[in-house]
Amino acid sequence: MILEVKSVSKRFQSGTKKKPETVTALENISFDVSEGEFISIIGPSGCGKSTLLKIVAGLIDASGGEVLIEDTEEHRNLGTPKIGFVFQDAVLLPWKTAMQNVMFPFEIMKKPGTDRLDEVQRLFKLAGLSGFENHYPKQLSGGMRQRVSILRSLSYNPPILLMDEPFGAIDAITRDSLNNILLDIWQETKKTILFVTHSISEAIYLSDRIIVMGARPGRIVKDVRIELPRPRNDDTKIAPKFYEYVGELRELLK
């Protein structure tokens, strides 16, 4: 088990000083993640998906429960973060090239990162970005910028990648190709991925498991195992079993 989420809850204080209100964003969330799994989290707006990812990343504290992340020898020695985070917007630094953006985490960590350069070059190739290393963000399409931000999150080789609706703002055709690139990267780098999406078909296409959440308070409704063969491709999307999963998930999200 690389990651264990144990009875996590999160309450936010909102409202006014006179009339304070408590929003229970997450209640009693528990699930385990095995190394190398691709897990999607899906659920209605406001059910706490982003909050859950932020708690797993350690960006915010839970009100109750705990998140356990396996401490590997490699990462103890390297002293690099065990988690990479990809947001909906690429948030690249406009004055830095694609390569400089990808290597930026090392600047923050005050490490040279030179030992990762060969691997980063390989990732550029895998992401279809060879030849664009010296381009600036404004010279890249939205889909390319998002690929650069994925490479940035992988530059320091974290075992776990958290992705919060990374393709939400991308057109449907580009999104299909980004899904295939992401699966290639996942298969090559053997990362464990937690992926938040609003798209049922995207979740089915990518995942080994889909955690379906419900709102108010945010909780897990069902953990669905996706037993479609890999590697996934266009045939996956016309398989009868794919449509069965679509039906099951639509029903759960009603």
Q: Residues interacting with ligand ATP, by CB under 6 A?
A: 12, 14, 23, 25, 43, 45-51
| 45 versus 114: smaller Cβ distance to ligand ATP | 45
| 144 versus 210: smaller Cβ distance to ligand ATP | 210
In angstroms, give the least distance from the CB of 238 to ligand ATP: 28
What lies within 8 Å, CB to CB, of 34 at 6+ separation is: 1, 2, 192
In angstroms, give the least distance from the CB of 88 to ligand ATP: 8
In angstroms, give the least distance from the CB of 146 to ligand ATP: 17
**Tokens standing for residue 188:** 């090559």
In angstroms, give the least distance from the CB of 139 to ligand ATP: 30
- Do residues 29 and 47 touch, judged by C-beta distance below 8 A? no
| 49 versus 191: smaller Cβ distance to ligand ATP | 49
| 83 versus 103: smaller Cβ distance to ligand ATP | 83
In angstroms, give the least distance from the CB of 50 to ligand ATP: 3
| 48 versus 105: smaller Cβ distance to ligand ATP | 48
